Amino acid sequence: MAEACEGMSWVDKLKRYNDKHTVDKPKPTESEQEEEDEQLLGEYYIKFKNATDTDKYKLIPKFYSKPPADDEILQQKLREDARATFLQRRTTELMDNEELQKLWLLLEENPTPPDIGEDPMISFVDFQKIGEEVADKCKSYFTAGVFSKLLNNDPYGRISISQLFSYVMRKVWLQQTRIGLSLFDIQGLGYLKEVDLENYILELIPTLPQLKCLEESFYSFYVCTAVRKFFFFLDPMRTGKIKIQDVLACGFLDDLLELRDEDLSKDAQENNWFSAPSALRVYGQYLSLDTDHNGMLSRQELARYGTGTLTRVFVDRVFQECLTYDGEVDYKTYLDFVLAMENRKEPQALQYLYRLIDIKGQGYIDGFTLKYFFRAIQDQMKVHGHEAVKFEDVKDEIFDMVKPSDPYRITLQDLLNSGQGETVISILIDLNGFWTYENREVLLAEAQDVNTN
């Protein structure tokens, strides 16, 4: 008996025990089940009504059980196997490729006339008829709610067949992806830690043709590069975890899975953070900055980032606020820095940079803070022989751009509301950014002349 149980999962062992110790009895009919439920509900109501106030809370059914502790091995294993069984069942409930092909053929063969344009259309009546013919897995997509979502100014009240099929495909893909991500959610709490997402992306790499050029020795750096984008934008409070539903909703997975396209254009690859050229570019820049080849970046090395015109005080703030190791930053910290610098219009990037600018940690920027950072810009201008610019003029321009609720303080929310956050930050931390702002009219005129010619 013991030998027969070896190799069985905990769920199978429990099922086997349950089958052995359960007496077979006929399954109740639907009416009998309803009658039993009503009786139990009535008994519960009477018991709850007669209980004292202090005891009533004890009668409330338990609806939450905390996850098992690290030392509760049996409970953990049971939970893992139960989740795996649940996710496997959910997978079988999804439409497969053959069923999707059958759906497309059925839609293609039943368009609703008249033919207007190249895209076949379908009316609500024909939509309902097809809904009766499709497999059970597909019936949830043939509802009035789905039809109304896809309705778009057709004079005959029809919807596009291709849009309907794309909608179904998108839903199936989201469900498949959610199940795939959930397999890496070890605790089953609906979120992923960094190591969970790293394992997911590592297993995904061999399935993406656009990444076949990557050497296996680079996989760890690629995974780190990819994961940092998810956590930088989806975990701005640095909790160390992100919700699976946020991963599905953000669109980053679309960019990542775009790499399945073997014919992806060069421009699309360059604009995709997750592509091989992009990951190699970022890592190559890191190696180029690391002049002493110790795998870390010092203040002097990071100051060479971009055009090499970042101010000393700004670089110092990076090292004061970000995680360092013996006074130097590692690749992961560098990735956060790059994501902030390359996405200055995004709220998460502005939040990162604002924290560096707010030298007093007071939650707002005042005239003193602006002068502290702009003095470094003035020093750089002297070194490069540029004409001096008065601080008071720059300060007035910044406050005019932002229009804060308090005329003497600029909060992060003020910066976000103004839509000028990228410009303000660039003026304060980068000589090249300030020069571009100062000469914006000349640069615009030159660009117009180029376009005209």
- Taking only the tens place, the pLDDT of each residue in 63-108 is 777 888 888 889 888 888 888 888 999 999 899 999 999 999 999 9
Q: Are residues 345 and 422 in the same domain?
A: yes
Contact 365, 409 (CB under 8 A): yes
Among 177, 195, 222, the domain-final residue is: 177
Range of the domain at 426: 290-452
419 within some domain: yes
Per the structure, how many domains does the chain have?
4
Q: Are residues 204 and 296 in the same domain?
A: no
Contact 21, 91 (CB under 8 A): no
**Is the pTM here over 0.85, yes or no?**
no
Amino acid at 134: V
Q: Are residues 171 and 210 in the same domain?
A: no
20 within some domain: no
**What is the CATH classification number for the domain harbouring 212?**
1.10.238.220
Q: Tell me how crowded residue 173 is: count the other CB atoms within 10 A of its CB.
A: 15
Please write the tens of the pLDDT for every residue from 355-393: 999 999 999 999 999 999 999 999 999 988 888 889 999
Q: Are residues 128 and 232 in the same domain?
A: no
Q: Are residues 302 and 160 in the same domain?
A: no
Q: Are residues 211 and 169 in the same domain?
A: no
27 within some domain: no
CA distances from 146 to 159, 163, 227, 301, 451 (A): 10, 11, 34, 55, 45
Structure tokens at 351: 């939040």
Q: Are residues 271 and 325 in the same domain?
A: no
* Whether residue 22 has pLDDT greater than 80: no
Q: Are residues 307 and 420 in the same domain?
A: yes
Q: Are residues 302 and 263 in the same domain?
A: no
368 within some domain: yes
Among 249, 278, 307, the domain-final residue is: 278
Question: Could you give the CA distance from residue 222 to residue 237 in angstroms, rounded to a whole number?
Answer: 24
Question: Could you give the CA distance from residue 238 to residue 241 in angstroms, rounded to a whole number?
Answer: 8
272 within some domain: yes
Q: Are residues 163 and 212 in the same domain?
A: no
59 within some domain: yes
**What is the CATH classification number for the domain harbouring 438?**
1.10.238.10
Q: What is the mean pLDDT of the chain?
A: 89
CA distances from 276 to 217, 223, 259, 284 (A): 14, 11, 9, 12
Among 143, 177, 211, the domain-final residue is: 177
Closest among 274, 267, 277 to 251, alpha carbons compared: 274
Residue 329's DSSP bridge partners are: 297
133 within some domain: yes
Q: Are residues 297 and 429 in the same domain?
A: yes
Q: Are residues 440 and 311 in the same domain?
A: yes
Please write the tens of the pLDDT for every residue from 125-171: 999 999 999 988 999 999 999 999 999 888 999 999 999 999 999 99
72 within some domain: no
